[in-house]
Amino acid sequence: MSDSSLTHDIQSRLSELADVTLDDRLTFADLTTLHLGGRPRTVVRCATASAVAEVVTLLDAHSVPLLVVAGGSNLVVADGDLDLVVVLLENDSLDVDVATGRVVAGAGAVWDDVVAAAVSAGLGGIECLSGIPGSAGATPVQNVGAYGAEIADVLVQVQLLDRPTGTVSWVPASSLDLAYRYSNLKFTSRGVVLAVELHLSTDGLSAPLRFGELARRMGGTARWPVAAVRDAVLELRRGKGMVVVEEDHDTWSAGSFFTNPVVDPAVADAVQAAVRATRGDDDADRMPRFPADGGEKLSAAWLIERAGFAKGHPGDGAPVRLSTKHTLALTNRGAAKTSDLVALAREVRDGVREVFGVTLVPEPVWIGVSID
């Protein structure tokens, strides 16, 4: 591979920085929960926020292509050699103030460790986000959400390295344009989150439950003790393969592979009519459709199943399959290549489009490869 931008001089300047280690052994198969993807130029491990800022600023100043990586749980990366440097976030500081409910976490902190610490301190507001893989710093990037909650509910501000200027400052959550699985940090080079500050409730109770399946499990939509909600969420997630367990290939995924489509109400009507015609009234009447910004939100998993893709598709022996626990997760069964994943992603997207006229959009960030 030819790349003149990452010179020996830059590599030696990187290795001289405090709290920085260069690691040439790691591939994206080691770094991602899909266990897929080729070899970056090098991996620069950063143990502190200032190390992250210095490394990114140095690489940007020399126009060296880079990718910020933390938990690797929302990444689809091409096979083969990649002409980019991975900046690996390992700044995992965590400060929990039980009295005020203020939580400040370094970007590289494991998100579920942050949730566990908050819950054991009796702080409420993130218990529904239990079990989401990845890092604290990535939670604003796609405004992570689950079981009726999202990080936007509790995020006060983020410490941001602004890449165009190289400056570090705390910026309010409102400047990130947080929306359903989106912020202005996703798919852009705007900046790197170095730390997040959350404000949680201190009365030991969860936020009111908004998600039917969880509310039914708990016994209603009220507020419940945070630890009980966390336990229920983890149990529900485990049943769907949505908690990473290394020995379970149903969890070698990027989580939900497609976002739930938001469509015009007329399109939702047409989808429901198509279901009615082919599958009958009972199924059509149960079709999930919810009001959302810009139209109505449909369930991607429900559409995938109705388009003929069952759990585990395409069956035993395939290198990439839909999870046997959830149709929305594409999973590596152990020996897959990214090209296998892309082929299945296209098959599912095209199949749903053919049956319902709705084009599903992938949720993860794609590097060096595309579904189109």
Ligand X SMILES: Cc1cc2nc3c(=O)[nH]c(=O)nc-3n(C[C@H](O)[C@H](O)[C@H](O)COP(=O)(O)OP(=O)(O)OC[C@H]3O[C@@H](n4cnc5c(N)ncnc54)[C@H](O)[C@@H]3O)c2cc1C
* Catalytic residue check, 256: yes
CB of 125 to ligand X, least distance (A): 16
The whole-angstrom separation of Cα 98 and Cα 203 is 10
Stretch that binds ligand X, among 115-123, 129-137, 278-286, 342-350 (CB under 6 A): 129-137
* Residue 185 contacts ligand X per CB under 6 A: yes
Residue 96 or 132 having the CB closest to ligand X? 132
CB of 107 to ligand X, least distance (A): 4
- Residue 71 or 101: the one with the smaller Cβ distance to ligand X is 71
Our finding on whether 254 is near ligand X (CB under 6 A) is yes
**Residue 171 touches ligand X, criterion: CB under 6 A:** no
CB neighbour burial string for 3-42, b if at least 16 within 10 angstroms, e if fewer: eeebeeebbeebeebebbeeeeebbbbebbbbbbbbbbbb
The residue within the footprint of ligand X, chosen from 192, 301, 328, 345 (CB under 6 A), is: 192
Query: How buried is residue 277: exposed, middle or buried, by Cβ count under 10 Å (0-12/13-18/19+)?
Result: exposed
Residue placing its CB nearer to ligand X in the complex, 163 or 313: 163
**Catalytic residue from among 256, 306, 321, 349:** 256
For residue 96, which of 126, 65, 66 has the smallest C-alpha distance? Answer: 126
Of the two residues 90 and 340, which places its CB atom closer to ligand X in the complex?
A: 90
Q: At what angle do helices 265-279 and 338-356 cross, to 10 degrees?
A: 90
- List binders of ligand X among 17-76 (CB under 6 A): 33, 67-75
Decide if residue 138 touches ligand X (CB under 6 A). Answer: yes
Q: Which two tokens stand for residue 22?
A: 């260069």
What is the CA 351 to chain-centroid distance, rounded?
Answer: 24
Tell me the CB-side half-sphere exposure of residue 290, using CA atoms within 13 A.
Answer: 12
Confirm or reject binding of residue 200 to ligand X (CB under 6 A).
no
Q: If binding is defined by CB under 6 A, does position 173 make contact with ligand X? A: no
Catalytic residue among 39, 163, 181, 321: 181
Choose, by CB under 6 A, the member of 48, 135, 183, 331 that binds ligand X: 135
Residue 339's Cβ-count burial label (10 Å; 0-12, 13-18, 19+) is middle
Q: Which of residues 72-111 bind ligand X (CB under 6 A)?
A: 72-75, 89, 107
Closest distance between ligand X and the C-beta of residue 250, in Å?
9
**Among residues 58, 77, 118, 141, the one that binds ligand X under rule CB under 6 A:** 141
Q: Which of 32, 354, 56, 63 is nearest to 194 (CA)?
A: 56
Angle at 287 between CA 281 and CA 292, to 5 degrees: 145
The DSSP secondary-structure symbol of 294 reads: T
The question of whether 181 is a catalytic residue gets the answer: yes
- Separation between Cα atoms, residue 335 and residue 370, nearest integer Å: 21
Catalytic residue numbers, as ranges: 181, 256, 363
Give the binding site for ligand X (CB under 6 A): 33, 67-75, 89, 107, 132-135, 137-139, 141-142, 144-146, 185, 192-193, 242, 244, 251, 253-255, 365
